[in-house]
Amino acid sequence: MTHETSTSRTSRRSVLGLLGAAPIAAGLLTAGQPAQAEASASGSIPADLRPGGKLDRFVADRAGKDLFSGVLLVAHQGRPVLRRAYGMANKASSVPNRLDTRFDIASVTKTCTAVAVAQLAQQGKIAFHEKLGTYLQGFPAEIGQTVTVHQLLTHTSGVGRPAVGSQPPTRPEWDTVQKVWDGTAKAIRALPLQFTPGTQYRYSNDGFFLLGEIVATVSGRSYYDYVREHVFAPAGMTHSDFFTKAQVTAERTIARPYASQPSGSRVDFTTSDFFPFVGGPHRGAYSTATDLLAFARALWNGALLGPAYAELITTGKMIMPPSEQQGLTRQHLFYGYGFIDAIVGGRHVVGHSGSAAGAANYLDTYPGLDWVALVLSNYDTPIAPIVETARQIIIGSARPRAAAAS
């Protein structure tokens, strides 16, 4: 578990609060149009992060080689300084990706679920130490009376199937939102524990689905309605939602997911039997880069949570294994409550990744530096090189702590 002095915690909250002090310019540029640079209130923007700079050229090069399709957004103090859209949202219909295109954010959805849980905890309706059986029924005693909310949030519960190497529970006959919800809940309850709760870290999508169930049970609203009303709405995420397969295939503002094939080609994953009917608490919300920037602002400016709870969920609690987040340089890597907390170049980088067939995403916020970097893609080609390049520039442009303190 990380440890910070009260001084560093206060600095982290107050500086990140500046993310809410400046308006977000709504970017509606199509691919190939120039991004806009906007001056920071606290000084100049590094040349490498401006339009035409190192990061811009690097992403353009990857897009030109068909290694990236999606949106890049970099912001300082809430103001976008670099915004680009590349590739096609729908190749068959020749619809380009735009800055207002909605992408499957995959596991970045977990940050929204974590916020929902923390909101209810802040209201005294959920306790992190309480057992799963306090809120949900249908589990054997070794699960219901052992697994805690804390363990579900930190991927240490042992609940569910392995996140890698197994398909999520889904059935062709699950053709309504309620059937997906009920079927998934039943399937998870039929699974044995993978390990004794609390003894190890193992990423669990099913664990986060159960957190969504807890949100629904405690709030008296469906998980989807709760997130729409208490996360998306107050954050100003006006283009974000959970969509059914029919909506994804019909809506021109939603990017189709292009999944890589062994042959090297890519296919529209919506045509696959494995494409889910609808997403859930563990993955599958759709959002835009501008909306996710609004989410980052709202997380720290009090629109979603009080400062103590915002810090609670974003602070690292469990050490993640070196095999996680491959391709990214860091000194240490931790999981908080639905957020990844990495130490890079002596700085915290807080956010989450999201990957699936035809999806690769990353949300990075920089406590103390007032930067947010977002990469959303409708390819599953790794975006680690883009994320790593942005991190090196942002961290490298920061003044040393000793100099800043003087």
Q: What is the CATH number of the domain that holds 69?
A: 3.40.710.10
CA distance 96 to 98: 6
The two three-digit tokens of residue 220, written as one number = 């008296």
Residue 150 forms part of a structural domain: yes
Residue 278 forms part of a structural domain: yes
Average pLDDT along the chain, 406 residues, taken 10 residues at a time: 33 38 36 36 77 98 98 96 98 98 98 98 98 98 97 97 66 88 95 96 96 98 98 98 97 97 96 93 97 97 96 97 86 96 95 97 94 98 97 85 39
Q: Check whether residue 219 and residue 261 sit in a common domain.
A: no
Q: Check whether residue 221 and residue 286 sit in a common domain.
A: no
- What domain count does the chain have? 2
The two three-digit tokens of residue 212, written as one number = 């969504």
Q: Check whether residue 337 and residue 248 sit in a common domain.
A: yes
CA distance 388 to 386: 5
Q: Check whether residue 123 and residue 60 sit in a common domain.
A: no
Residue 1 forms part of a structural domain: no
The two three-digit tokens of residue 282, written as one number = 């563990």
Q: What is the pLDDT of residue 19?
A: 39
Residue 195 forms part of a structural domain: yes
- How many alpha carbons fall within 13 Å on the CB side of residue 244? 10
Q: Check whether residue 173 and residue 52 sit in a common domain.
A: no
Q: What is the pLDDT of residue 400?
A: 53
State which residues form the domain around 102: 6-108+233-405
Q: Among candidates 155, 165, 213, which has minimal Cα distance to 189? A: 213
Please list, in sequence order, all residues whose beta carbon lies within 8 angstroms of the beta carbon of residue 155, skipping any fewer than 6 positions away.
Answer: 201, 202, 203, 204, 207, 318, 335
Residue 329 forms part of a structural domain: yes
Select from 227, 252, 282 the last residue of a domain.
227
pTM score, two decimals? Answer: 0.88
Q: What is the pLDDT of residue 394?
A: 96
Residue 159 forms part of a structural domain: yes
The two three-digit tokens of residue 135, written as one number = 């809120």
Residue 331 forms part of a structural domain: yes
Q: Check whether residue 350 and residue 380 sit in a common domain.
A: yes
Q: Check whether residue 249 and residue 174 sit in a common domain.
A: no
Instruction: Give CB contacts under 8 A, 24+ apart, made by 399-406.
Output: 401/346
Residues present in the chain in total: 406
Q: Among candidates 120, 197, 96, 214, which has minimal Cα distance to 151? A: 197
Select from 227, 259, 293 the last residue of a domain.
227
Q: What is the pLDDT of residue 228?
A: 98
Residue 251 forms part of a structural domain: yes
Q: Quick one: 287 exposed, middle or buried, by C-beta within 10 A (0-12, 13-18, 19+)?
A: buried
Q: Check whether residue 305 and residue 346 sit in a common domain.
A: yes
Q: Check whether residue 250 and residue 220 sit in a common domain.
A: no
Strand, coil or helix: 357: coil
The two three-digit tokens of residue 192, written as one number = 């044995």
Please list, in sequence order, all residues whose beta carbon lies within 8 angstroms of the beta carbon of residue 165, skipping any fewer than 6 positions away.
Answer: none
Q: Check whether residue 255 and residue 394 sit in a common domain.
A: yes
Q: What is the pLDDT of residue 172?
A: 75
Select from 210, 227, 244 the last residue of a domain.
227
Q: At what angle do helices 289-300 and 109-122 cross, to 10 degrees?
A: 30
Q: Check whether residue 317 and residue 372 sit in a common domain.
A: yes
Q: Is 70 left (phi over 0), alpha (psi -120 to 50) or beta?
A: left
